[in-house]
C-alpha cells in the first residue's frame, strides 16, 4: 500500500476509534440513570451495557461462544481486512474510507469489550412514535455507515461511476 492509502485508511480508522471512545466516556460520565429524551423522543440517550454484537445480537449465546466469536474471530477478521488493504488491494479511495469506517467501528467495540469485561457501552436510540431502533453507539454507526458507503462505492466502480482507485 502506498503512503497516501495508508494515511487515508489509518486516519479514518483512528478517527472512528477516537470518536467512539470519547462518546462512550461522555455517556458514562454524563447520562442520568433514567436517560434523556430530545426532540419529542426522536433521540433517546440511555446508558446500557451490551454483551452481544450489534443491537444485542448473540447476547444470549453461551459466554464461551461469545468470547470466541466477539473476542477472537471478529478481531481476526478486522486484522485480515486491514492486512489485505495495506498489501495493496485494488479498491477506490471511497471503498478504502468505507472499510476504514467498518474496521474502525469494529475495533472501537472490540476495545470496549476488552476494557469492560466483554461488554460494549451503548447509549443512543432513535425513534418516531412506537417505532424505535435498539440502543447503539458511534462504533455501530461507523460499521453500518461504512457498509452502506462500501455498497454505494462498489456499485459505482462496477458500473463505471468514475470513482478513481486509491492509488490515483
Q: What is the mean pLDDT of residues 34-51?
A: 94
Please check the confidence at residue 164 and state whether its pLDDT lies above 90: no
pLDDT tens-place string over residues 84-129:
888 877 888 999 999 999 999 999 999 999 999 899 999 999 999 8
The band of 168, judged by pLDDT with boundaries at 50, 70 and 90, is: very low
Give the active site residues. 122, 140
Residue 69: strand, helix, or coil:
helix
Comparing 38-47, 64-73, 155-164, the range with the smallest average pLDDT is 155-164
Asked if the model's pLDDT at residue 138 lies above 70, the reply is: yes
Q: How far apart are CA 69 and CA 35, in angstroms?
A: 31
Closest residue by Cα to residue 108 from 42, 33, 13: 13
Q: How far apart are CA 118 and CA 135, in angstroms?
A: 17
- Mean pLDDT score, 49-69: 83
Helices and strands (H and E) in the chain: how many:
5, 4
Q: How far apart are CA 58 and CA 47, in angstroms?
A: 19
Residues above pLDDT 90, as percent of the chain:
61
The mean pLDDT of 28-45, rounded to a whole number, is 95
Q: Torsion-angle region of residue 160: left (phi > 0), alpha (psi -120 to 50) or beta?
A: left
Task: Write the CB contacts of 144 (distance below 8 Å, at least 6 apart in sequence).
Answer: 54
pLDDT at 22: 98
Amino acid at each position: 500500500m502506498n503512503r497516501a492509502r495508508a494515511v487515508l485508511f489509518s486516519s479514518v480508522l483512528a478517527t472512528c476509534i477516537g470518536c467512539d471512545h470519547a462518546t462512550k466516556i461522555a455517556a458514562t460520565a454524563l447520562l442520568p440513570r433514567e436517560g434523556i429524551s430530545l426532540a419529542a423522543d426522536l433521540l433517546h440517550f440511555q446508558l446500557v451495557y451490551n454483551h452481544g454484537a450489534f443491537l444485542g445480537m448473540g447476547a444470549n449465546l453461551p459466554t464461551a461462544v461469545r468470547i470466541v466469536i466477539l473476542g477472537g474471530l471478529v478481531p481476526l477478521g478486522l486484522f485480515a481486512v486491514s492486512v489485505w488493504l495495506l498489501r495493496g488491494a485494488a479498491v477506490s479511495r471511497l471503498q478504502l474510507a468505507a472499510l476504514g469506517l467498518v474496521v474502525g467501528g469494529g475495533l472501537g467495540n472490540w476495545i470496549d469489550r476488552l476494557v469492560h469485561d466483554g461488554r460494549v457501552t451503548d447509549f443512543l436510540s432513535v425513534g418516531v412514535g412506537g417505532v424505535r431502533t435498539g440502543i447503539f453507539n458511534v462504533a455501530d454507526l461507523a460499521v453500518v455507515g461504512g457498509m452502506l458507503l462500501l455498497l454505494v462505492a462498489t456499485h459505482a466502480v462496477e458500473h463505471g461511476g468514475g470513482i478513481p482507485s486509491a492509488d490515483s
